[in-house]
A = this chain, B = another copy of it.
Amino acid sequence: MDLDLIRELAIPGDTKIVLAVVDGLGGLEHPETGRSELEAVNTNNLDRLAQDSSCGLTMPVGYGITPGSGPGHLALFGYDPMRYLVGRGVLEALGTDFDLQPQDVAARGNFCTLDDQGRITDRRAGRLATEQNVALCERLRQIELPGVQLFVEPVREHRFVLVLRPTSGNLSDKISETDPQREGASPLPAQPLDDDAKRTAALVNTFVDRARELIKDSSPANGLTLRGFAKHPKMPSFPETFGLRAGAVAVYPMYRGLAKLVGMTVLPTGSTYDDEIATLRDCWNDFDFFFIHYKYADSAGEDGDFDAKMAALEKFDGFVPALRELGADVLMIAGDHSTPAVMAGHSWHGVPFLLSAKNARHDDVDAFNERACLRGALGTFPASEVMPLAMAHAGRLAKYGA
């Protein structure tokens, strides 16, 4: 839905909306049992909630399109993911609470393991301990380049952020990534994608050469890749568009970054989902809308671990009563995309969705999974329509036209 229209129709209220995102929620059948992760696991609480909700399947971007975390979340926040693009570097930078400036170029960095021919043997350096990451970033901060100020910020495990801030002239984010996206290949040089990007590409390649030199004796992380070069995008503000004071809780930085990007207030929280729910409880009166993020279904799916994804979903199911007890007028359980364990990665498949509210139209769905949600009152629909639906059910959208 057009965000200008939503802004026009939005009316104030005292209702509360909770959007609980289970990262990588959707799955696929295990070839031996014919049952998906959600079908195979006991999710009594979700099933009961589904019986009391309008269910459906969200399509994050479009038929056959596998979304990254950025488009997956932006769609759930109401932004057409084909129109609003956010580079990974920007997301990661925002997630570290880095104060990104409009002229900055940010990139997502991964520490990796290289063999003696310079080929990548582990793209994540064994998911490096965060302390080692911090120490490596310290070393990289020694690097100086002409005409730019450099920032190297550790994230978690093997991930860091590189930000180039020009002290003279301009920088461009139109450069290719150095991550070959597979093991057995060497990191690639950054290539300018247009003429304006030549200087930036040269600076990045110089940075990578110096960095390699500085960490070559470290183990397991003796190399690095950079991707997602990006500048801060222009987007309408979520709180202004929907007329909602919006609070966000997430353990992982990228999701906090996405929330911050659209103008939500990122709330300090602990390291568990219990902590996240407690934060919502504590801040309940200060916001109209809460985005709360559960990561572990996606991590397990990405690892191709069917049982671990089942366990992550079962664990989430255990939190559902606490989510319901918050007493939101509109409670939604959604996913940013599917991450089927049998694919060990994100996928394009529709994502189970439910919306519980007083005026939600009931359907015959009595379980929360891919197959059951197909029969839901909401059908299969674009994820970017989740927010208009939430607004309507919260009594926060005026009638359109006479």
Contact = CB atoms under 8 A, between A and B. Distances in A.
Given A1-B62, A362-B34, A374 B375 contact: yes
A172 to B, nearest CB: 18
Contact of A343 (B85, B88, B359, B375): B359
Contact of A400 (B2, B71, B385, B393): B71
A135 interface: no
Interface string A325-347: 00000000000000010110111
Contacts of A350: 361, 377
A5 B81 CA distance: 12
B67 A401 contact: yes
Given A377-B374, A401-B86, A29 B362 contact: yes
A345 to B, nearest CB: 8
Interface stretch (A96-104, A119-127, A195-203, A363-371): A363-371
A363 B359 contact: no
A66 B392 contact: yes
A65 B359 contact: no
Contacts of A85: 401
B342 A359 contact: yes
A393 B28 CA distance: 13
Given A379-B380, A402-B70, A29 B63 contact: no
A187 interface: no
A340 B387 CA distance: 21
Nearest to A54: B349
Given A29-B362, A371-B363, A399 B64 contact: no
A359 B28 contact: yes
Interface in A38-76: 61-71
A189 interface: no
Most chain B CB within a 10 A radius of its CB, from A66, A67, A370: A66
B361 A402 contact: no
A400 B66 contact: yes
A69 B402 contact: yes
27 contacts: A2-B82, A5-B65, A9-B65, A28-B361, A29-B361, A61-B401, A63-B381, A63-B382, A63-B388, A64-B391, A64-B393, A64-B397, A66-B398, A67-B399, A67-B401, A68-B402, A71-B401, A87-B402, A88-B402, A343-B359, A348-B392, A350-B361, A362-B371, A363-B374, A374-B375, A379-B379, A379-B380
Interface of A: 1-2, 5, 9, 28-29, 34, 61-71, 81-82, 85-88, 91, 108, 228, 340, 342-343, 345-350, 359, 361-364, 370-371, 374-375, 377, 379-382, 385, 387-393, 397-402
